[in-house]
Chain A
Amino acid sequence: MNLKVFGAVILTLTALMFNPALAQEAPEVDRTATGGAQTLEDIMARQKQLEVDESFRSENLGNPENAAAIDEPLGTLGGSSQSDQWRGIRYNEADIQTVTRGPAVDVLIQDGGMPWYKLREGPMITYGGGALIAIIVLLAVFYFVRGKIMIDGGPAGTTIERFKPVERFGHWLLAGSFVALGITGLITLMGRSFLIPVLGPDAFSALAIGSKWVHNNVAWAFMLGLVLTFVMWIAHNIPNKLDWQWIKQGGGFIGKGHPSAKKFNAGQKIVFWMVMILGFSVSLSGLSLLFPFQMPMFSDTFGFFNSILGTDFPTVLAPHEEMQYANIWHSIVAFVMMVAIMAHIYIGSVGMEGAFDAMGNGQVDLEWARQHHDLWVEEVEAKQGKRGSS
């Protein structure tokens, strides 16, 4: 149930971002003076970002029963004026025939283009970039307040194998590709605003083309790394009662003492599931973008949420709208992942003494392991004891 509520909140927030004026409707307009056509009030309401009920024109597409005879003026139009036909094109209701065939060729005008562009160039950059700066500042403040988390009593001097080479390979394949995707994704999203003024259009063009190539092709390494780490670590990341104790004690980050943990503590499990769920989602939307119009997903997704939550998300989407939703969702999920992974990188490097060794050479100090993963150390020592005695 909590998952449903969470999904509803995310989708509602997304919908609100697409239409900031959702809650403010324009006042009723008298269109008798224009014969039902658009008035100055309609135009003014749109400029005020009010929601205008477009049905007065989206449904005004002509009527074949009113068709003039073929030998009368405009009789060849079959009951619809040219204005009616243009409205049909505008609202994707016209029967378009094109020589070139393809999934999106019969959509001549697509209304969602500008709101998508404004969202991408505005709030997406502002809030996404702001979140990245905020997490960097927060981690810096945390570092200066809490300091580096040291091994109590100092290192033991002996080590224990924390991760096998294949586990570390999967981690670094995923991590390396994620960093490459993050940087090239930011260049693609923000380059127009921040890099062109600095580098100029020619230099940025080369950078953008290179970024696109890296982003499109390194994505496969990311997906492979995601599958590898999922298969290798899922068994260790099933939540249990111990995790709640770990969370209640703040994971040992706040105050003194180290809560008990097996191979992965609750914090690491949160990172694992976040990476897996968001990584799967960002991969799906990425595939949808990688193969334009071939993998539309949002109309079905919206339909699914409408059926279980009773929401009213649009389920009839133009092919371009599918791509726009995929693009925005891809960016939102990527920003959430970048924020989470920055915190993960912090605690795995400068934030904690001895933590990097786990993924660096696979060997961690025994005292570090006892303090942060005591139950896992007991399991490993018990296994080694069994092997030694047999």
Chain B
Amino acid sequence: MKVMITGFVAALVIAFCAPLVLNQFGWSTAEQYSSDDSVRLD
């Protein structure tokens, strides 16, 4: 069961890290209205 919970937590960690990593490449939901270069995720 510990491994199962670890897998779920890892999915959440990846989800929280994904926008930060994508932001490095200019793909950002946070800056979607602030930059002409960023690609909107919605």
Q: How far is the CB of A227 from chain B (nearest CB, A)?
A: 12
- Interface 0/1 of A179-197, CB less than 8 Å to B: 0100000000000000000
| Complex Cα–Cα for A212 and B29 (A) | 11
Interface residue A360 (Cβ < 8 Å from any Cβ of B)? yes
Main secondary structure of the interface of A (DSSP, over half): helix
Q: Which residues of B contact A136 (CB under 8 A)?
A: none
Cross-chain contact B27 with A217 (CB below 8 angstroms): no
Cross-chain contact B11 with A169 (CB below 8 angstroms): no
Q: Which of A4-12, A249-257, A289-297, A304-312 contacts B (4 or more CB under 8 A)?
A: A289-297
Q: Which residues of B contact A290 (CB under 8 A)?
A: 41
Cross-chain contact B4 with A292 (CB below 8 angstroms): no
Interface residue A336 (Cβ < 8 Å from any Cβ of B)? no
Q: Which residues of B contact A224 (CB under 8 A)?
A: 14
Main secondary structure of the interface of B (DSSP, over half): helix
> Which residues of B, 1-42, contact A by the 8 Å Cβ criterion?
1, 3-4, 6-8, 10-12, 14-16, 18-19, 27, 29, 39-42
Closest to B9 in A: A176
Instruction: Point out the residue from B3, B10, B11, B39 that lies within 8 Å of A165, measured CB to CB.
Output: B3
The chain A residues found within 8 Å of chain B, CB to CB, are 165, 168-173, 175-177, 180, 212-214, 216-218, 220-222, 224-225, 290-292, 294, 359-362
6 other contacts beyond A172-B8, A225-B7, A362-B3, with CB at 8 A cut-off?
Answer: A169-B3, A217-B15, A217-B18, A220-B15, A359-B4, A360-B1
The chain B residues found within 8 Å of chain A, CB to CB, are 1, 3-4, 6-8, 10-12, 14-16, 18-19, 27, 29, 39-42
Which are the 10 A-B pairs with shortest beta-carbon distances?
A172-B7, A221-B11, A217-B15, A221-B14, A176-B8, A173-B7, A168-B3, A217-B18, A177-B11, A218-B15
